[in-house]
Amino acid sequence: MKTNIFYHAGCTVCKSAENEILQLTKGDNLEIVHLGDQPERIQNAEKEGVKSVPAIVTSSGTVLHINYGASLEDLKN
């Protein structure tokens, strides 16, 4: 079964969004990726179309950017 991936960077906005997403999805079929802790996954997130975090890449491949978070460019520095 394909998974929805929630990308975040541990910031306050991200944690708040994470809590809401967990509530909305009940955590079903959801992978949570902290790009600050797992920078090796930034490149793949970009390939999937992620421009900023927090964002969800759904199992269908659609990227939902949530609120106005951190640019991936900023996470590389």
Based on the shown chain and the rule CB under 8 A, indicate whether residue 41 belongs to the binding site for a copy of itself.
no
Q: Which stretch binds a copy of itself (CB under 8 A): 15-23, 31-39, 40-48?
A: 15-23
Residue 3 touching a copy of itself (CB under 8 A): no
Tell me the site size for a copy of itself, rule CB under 8 A.
21
Token readout for 41 is 């996954």
CB closer to a copy of itself out of 3 and 39: 3
Which residues have a Cβ under 8 Å from the Cβ of 9 and sit 6 or more positions away?
34, 35, 36, 53, 54, 69, 70, 75
